Amino acid sequence: MEKHLNLFYSYNQGNLGSSERIKQLEDNLTRALIVILKSLDNSLQIEFLKELLSRKKINSKSFVYDLQNTSNYIKKSENHRFLVILQRDKSSLSLEDIQEIETIFLENKTEKEKKNLEREIKTHLKSKTDNEFILENEKVNRSELNSILQFLYGNRPDAWIIGEKESVLIEAKIGNNSVSKYQIYRHVTGKNGFKINLSQLKKNEANLSIINITWEDICNIFAHIKTKANETEQFLISEFTKYISMTGQKLNLDYIINGEFDGDIHREQFSLFLTQFDSKLQQLGLPFERQNRPKADLWEVFGIRNEKDEYQKTHIIQLDSETMGLVFP
């Protein structure tokens, strides 16, 4: 998996190192998705949207694709509106969550207040603490904080897919980051989003659906429509799905088997591997967990806590980054 030869890899790539670099990578991934869709035959675009939106039929005949730009969006009352939340880990936000919001979050803050809040959020993120952030008397999960940072100075959707009868707004996140319900609320009601009237939203008259999906789901959809694609389209789809893996949005360890080891790709894959390993341990209900330590290397330690909230050394397992295997000290 030679990243520099991938069609969508950029030298200004972005990464998970800071909020600015995260946003850059989110933009690159979303742009790659839209470029792929726009390059497909119209019939494949419709097939993709059927699976993306879980629809038996797409009523639009053609589509306009756009990035963070609402100039091509025409508000039509008969349109079915879809807001797609695309993350590495699936969101659980629903339309009901958005309807419950009573205020436009952060709307009246001064520039000085925004700067102070930005500084507080960045300090919290750098602290590596698991404590929730308190924002206007409400607890905010750490995974939402990058979303709040982006929200402070404007809130444009990441992408649009606009048809005669269906309009799709996409908000994309990467890594452990997740959307804030306030960001989605602004997409639904704000001038850069669907501009839905509040009374329509509350009364379920907005013809709006919220779709939660993962980057892995996107790869699976493309794998399905790839069987119907021509040679050029198959190449583009393959390049895109490889790009998703090399940025760590989908677990794929084929590069180890193929002897194509790359440190940056491995770092992202190792992080995703650990996240999924944590989830599996939680599902099994085991008292075995990852040690909470600052990330200093490509390895992690798991163990069982004793009564003093310390890890029992005899139970520690090290996950070695070179082999992705389990090493018992």
Highest mean pLDDT among 39-53, 62-76, 125-139, 140-154: 39-53
Is residue 210 scored above 60 in pLDDT?
A: yes
Least confident of 124-138, 149-163, 173-187, 293-307: 293-307
Give the mean pLDDT of 66-70. Answer: 76
Amino acid at 321: S
Confidence of residue 43 (pLDDT cuts 50, 70, 90): very high
Least confident of 82-91, 130-139, 218-227, 296-305: 296-305
More confident residue, 8 or 325: 8
pTM, to two decimals = 0.80
Confidence of residue 312 (pLDDT cuts 50, 70, 90): low
Strands 166-172 and 80-87, sheet pairing: parallel
Could you tell me if 199 and 113 are in contact, meaning their C-beta atoms sit under 8 angstroms apart?
no
With H, G, I as helix, E, B as strand and everything else as coil, classify residue 167: strand
Confidence of residue 319 (pLDDT cuts 50, 70, 90): low
- Compute the distance between CA of residue 133 and CA of residue 199 in angstroms, rounded to an integer: 31
Is residue 238 scored above 60 in pLDDT?
A: yes
More confident residue, 307 or 39: 39
Cα separation of the two ends of the chain: 32
